[in-house]
Amino acid sequence: MWPKGEWGLRTRVAVALALLVLAKIANVYVPILYKHAVDAFGTPQAQAVTVPVALILAYGLARVLAQAFGEIRDAIFAPVGQRAIRNLALQVFGHLHSLSLRYHLERQTGGLSRVIERGTQGMEFLIRFTTFNILPTLLEIALVGAILWRLYDWRFTAVILGVIAGYIVFTITLSEWRIQFVRRMNDADTDANAKAIDSLLNYETVKYFGNELHEARRYDVGRRRYETAAIRSSRTLSLLNIGQGLIIAAGLAGVMVMAGSGVVDRTMTVGDFVAVNAFLLQLYAPLNMLGFAYREIRGALVNMEKMFGLLDVPAEIADRPGAPALHVGGGEIVFDHVDFHYEKARPILHDVSFRVAPGDSVAIVGSSGAGKSTVSRILFRFYDVAAGRVLIDGQDIRDVQQASLRASIGVVPQDTVLFNDTIYYNIAYGRPDASREEVEQAAKLARIHDFIMALPQKYQSTVGERGLKLSGGEKQRVAIARTILKNPRILLFDEATSALDTRTEQEIQRSLEEVSRGRTTLVIAHRLSTIVHADEIVVLDRGRVVERGRHGELLARNGLYADMWRRQQEAAAEAERKVEAEAEKLPSFRAEGHLRVAE
């Protein structure tokens, strides 16, 4: 609300507060003019009508000014409130991106988006009502109390303040009790929304198993909880409104009885009676709004507490204070006696050591669960090692800025997820400031340019949610293209061709070899045929390095790598035999000079 260095916004805050005061002064002066106008009709000057008319016109002008000041105030203050909301939302969004991969693997996307949505809406409501409802109402209460004390009797002020105190205590007490139902509503809403988003993201899986009714029942569990909490909240709100109405009515009746007695005793005029009534009606309207505002503000705070709770989640992987940027020269990678575990009871890597010389290509292979992909996550610093260290050009990656580390590494992951945007956007994501020619050149190197140009909308074709409009191989080639566009010094291929058919794999493998020439390359591989030309192959088994060497050397040792190679070769040969056998089963014959193949 008072942003540092934003003098334009600070000026708006000051002007808005000044207009707020002027609006309330004009507002509380309206009943005084009304009183004088009523009393003027009972004087000799009323015969000329001039005095009453002038007072009525002044009364109307005061009302117009009170409203005008308020509207101008809102217009001037709007940029301040919206900037505060924008900055908060941006802060939360940025913090979420700073949290660890562990956090994002455990969170629910739908529930998280709902928390942020409710939190920003709550922030907007809080700013608007706190600044222009609660503060003005408190100011108006103070002004009216002072005027009644000065013009009439301290007892009027005492009764009004007593009623207001009772009103506030009742409102706060009951509203605090009602908060439990608001929290239950939010929890149920978050749960239901998370299930809905999860179900829609897995639309195909739902269809595969015909589980539409099952998903509807899961969604309905959360909606039913929300319904129950919402009904209870509505009933308690009615109770709160009735109680507030009784307190206001009792206070209004009490003060008007006192004013009526004053008129009978001739200590007050009819104009005074009207003015007191106008003061009370004018005061109780915002007071009633104050009760509404308090209820809504408490609800807004409940909505905001989970969003602020996100800001309290610590970043598991954080830059050390004053950490320098990573300076990459040759791009040497060293894993030095690395131990790692996701959970202490489940160790993943044990004393893993290897070196990737500048410009060389090293492959990491092993059976499923051996820890291959964990190596890539540690290098990219999604996680920190439990023991040992990882060095790039002699610099421990824990001692440098994460942004500079990740800017130096290009990754093609095993499971590529694309943004629901155009193909051009997804390729250009590797370097958003790249020219169109550079984007298309990257697509050509990834062997996807021709495919894109054959599409009706070419590079402006949308890929759908998570890229589902593209095949697995097409998504992988888009991922390769954007990594090529990033042009990093170090390349990391995490089973980058696993989703491709043999022919496409061979084409892209040639492209990857071209791109990685002269760059330090770490390849996480499942298909051993893709890494036979690697400068070194590191074989992992249950998180330990059991073999290392070039392809021919490892085959000659007849160890784990050789066994894996034989199994894959046998599997490939068996698959080829099956294809040939199926082809032989198709009866073909010549008839009338034509070859016909029966399906």
Q: Which domains does the chain have, with CATH numbers?
A: 86-312 (1.20.1560.10), 328-408+490-599 (3.40.50.300), 415-487 (3.40.50.300)
Taking the C-alpha atoms of residue 504 and residue 472, their distance in angstroms, rounded to an integer, is: 11
> Within a 10 A sphere around the Cβ of 8, how many other Cβ atoms?
9
Q: How many residues are present in the chain?
A: 599
Q: Which pair of structure tokens corresponds to residue 137?
A: 């109402």
Taking the C-alpha atoms of residue 152 and residue 380, their distance in angstroms, rounded to an integer, is: 76
**DSSP class of residue 319?**
P
Please name the helix (run of DSSP H) or strand (run of DSSP E) that holds residue 580, with its range, or none: helix 560-585
Please name which of 212, 291, 218, 294 lies closest in space to residue 248, comparing C-alpha atoms.
Answer: 291
Amino acid identity of residue 583, one-letter, is A
Q: What pLDDT is attached to residue 246?
A: 87
Using an 8 Å Cβ cutoff, are 219 and 135 in contact?
Answer: no
Taking the C-alpha atoms of residue 566 and residue 203, their distance in angstroms, rounded to an integer, is: 39
Q: What pLDDT is attached to residue 589?
A: 41
Q: How many Å is the Cα radius of gyration of the chain?
A: 37
Taking the C-alpha atoms of residue 508 and residue 516, their distance in angstroms, rounded to an integer, is: 12
Q: Which pair of structure tokens corresponds to residue 57?
A: 């016109």
Burial of 168 (0-12, 13-18, 19+ CB in 10 A): middle
Taking the C-alpha atoms of residue 515 and residue 537, their distance in angstroms, rounded to an integer, is: 20
Strand order in the sheet with 409-412: 409-412, 490-494, 520-524, 361-366, 536-541, 544-549
The pLDDT profile of the chain, 599 residues, written as one tens digit per residue, is 677 777 777 788 788 888 877 877 777 777 777 677 676 766 555 444 555 566 667 767 777 777 787 778 778 777 777 788 888 888 888 888 777 777 776 666 666 777 777 788 788 778 777 776 777 777 777 777 777 787 777 787 788 788 888 888 888 888 878 878 878 887 888 788 778 877 877 776 777 667 788 888 888 888 888 888 888 888 888 888 888 888 888 888 888 888 888 778 877 778 777 777 777 777 776 776 766 777 777 777 877 887 888 888 887 788 888 889 999 888 899 999 999 988 877 888 898 899 999 988 899 988 877 788 888 889 988 888 889 999 999 899 999 998 899 889 888 887 777 888 888 988 988 888 889 999 998 888 888 888 889 888 888 888 877 677 887 778 888 888 888 888 888 988 887 666 566 666 677 677 777 777 788 999 888 888 888 888 999 998 888 889 889 988 888 888 888 888 888 888 777 767 776 777 666 555 444 444 444 33
Q: What pLDDT is attached to residue 501?
A: 65
395-396 vs 520-524, strand pairing mode: unpaired
Please name which of 456, 531, 519, 535 lies closest in space to residue 494, comparing C-alpha atoms.
Answer: 531
Using an 8 Å Cβ cutoff, are 215 and 199 in contact?
Answer: yes
395-396 vs 387-392, strand pairing mode: antiparallel
